[in-house]
A = this chain, B = another copy of it.
Amino acid sequence: MTRYTSATDTDRAEMLAEIGVGSVEELFKQIPEPVRLGRPLELADGLGENEVFERLVTLAERNADAEHEICFVGAGMYDHYVPAIVDAITQRSEFLTPYTPYQPEVSQGGLQVMFEFQTAMSELTALPVSGAGLYEGPSTVASAGYLAIGATGRSRFVVSRGVHPHSRETLATYAAGYGAELVEVGIEEGHTDAAALADAVDGETAALFLQSPNFLGAVEDVEALGAAAKEHGALLIVACDPMTLGVLKPPGECGADVAVGEGQPLGNRLDFGGPSFGFFCATEEHIRRMPGRIAGETVDADGRRGFVLTLQTREQHIRREKATHNICTAQALNALAAMVHLAWLGRQGYRELGELLVQRTAYARDRLAALDGVELLHEAPVAREFALRVDAPVAEVLDRCADRGIAAGYPLGREYPEYGDGLLVAITERRSKEQIDQLAEALGDAVKELGTRNKQQEVPA
């Protein structure tokens, strides 16, 4: 077995002598007999490094990953290209292996990165304050709810059905704890139903939750929808996709009080869903209610510039039951990855990438909608993902495409039974025109073969 330890028999003997006991066993005597295990763990014996490697390779190769399949699946996590410098930097021991920066004098690296990250996210969302990152998107949405309750003293959430189903579900899970009622507002032609929303938001509402682009890919008119929240003194909480903010009006310019979202598209690999990070930005007034770590600038005893964890009186380790959140270990390394990716994209590249997504998405949408047996689920403007209806069983269509090495999209049925024939297709800069054309072919063939009606027959000869 692999040990990663140093103690030899000699070490052990000498150390025990120093402690003054005869065996390690003696040290374990403080565990009362009845709760001792008294048998070896029923786990396999340890392995050498190359054996573990082979074992993991074998498992990994039983997954159809985006390097071996053309991946049009999105639904919140996207197959963006992670530049090589992201790996090189995040794998540096100096970033990979420290703990949370509790000793700022020897943690300036991590703290400065947090400060830079906060600046970048604040720029992206056009909100003045950003935290250093939370777990991932959906739980970050739930955390925003917790802030809203504290900030408004109210406990009713109005949530658009366009918000990611995972976020809505997680919000509900958390709400069962901190106590809040959820009201959902439906979707009409791709967009949040504005009229229903205006009705739903009232003086008891702590927060209105929107997402743009919403889960069906539609770009929402956040400003217009958010007016109801402003009117009733509810917070406007907007979930957004950080890869679209080079093109879309940022939440801060749409009246959002809080912007949150899934950080994965920024420098984080798919990893079957994690680790990634959630971002959390807000207006100045909420700074002392923000969840999680925040780095701040200051000076040292000699006047040198430096960074520290700040406003720690919000946090669990200082405030305990009065903390604004319970989070401790978060996702610092993932936030670093995002920061490096953003620096690599740069101001121009970030915008260009957003535009590239819009253009290719428009092409793909037109191309697929033109297929027999395929139509748009909605015609609302989209940025990087769009929803289709296919005239054939979606699961089977996806299997057919998979046989041709294409992951064609995300089936909407489980989470939106009303769109049982719905398919969500996502585009990244890795998805070339040729691949989109391949998808069109595969999807077209699949729908033709599996279609419930045969279009040919409909057309009079």
Contacts and interface: CB of A to CB of B under 8 A. Distances in A.
Contacts of A57: 67
A429 B48 CA distance: 10
A81 interface: yes
Contacts of A91: 88, 91
A422 B93 CA distance: 48
Given A57-B67, A430-B54, A49 B81 contact: yes
B430 A83 contact: no
Interface string A60-100: 00000001000000000000010110001001110000000
Contacts of A53: 81
A50 interface: yes
Contacts of A49: 81, 83-84
A50 B430 contact: yes
A387 B278 CA distance: 59
A135 B50 CA distance: 27
Interface string A38-64: 000000000011100110010000000
A435 to B, nearest CB: 10
A429 B54 CA distance: 12
A382 B92 CA distance: 42
A396 to B, nearest CB: 29
A429 B67 CA distance: 29
Interface string A425-452: 0000110000000000000000000000
Nearest to A85: B49
14 contacts: A48-B429, A49-B81, A49-B83, A49-B84, A50-B81, A50-B429, A50-B430, A53-B81, A54-B430, A57-B67, A88-B91, A88-B93, A91-B91, A92-B92
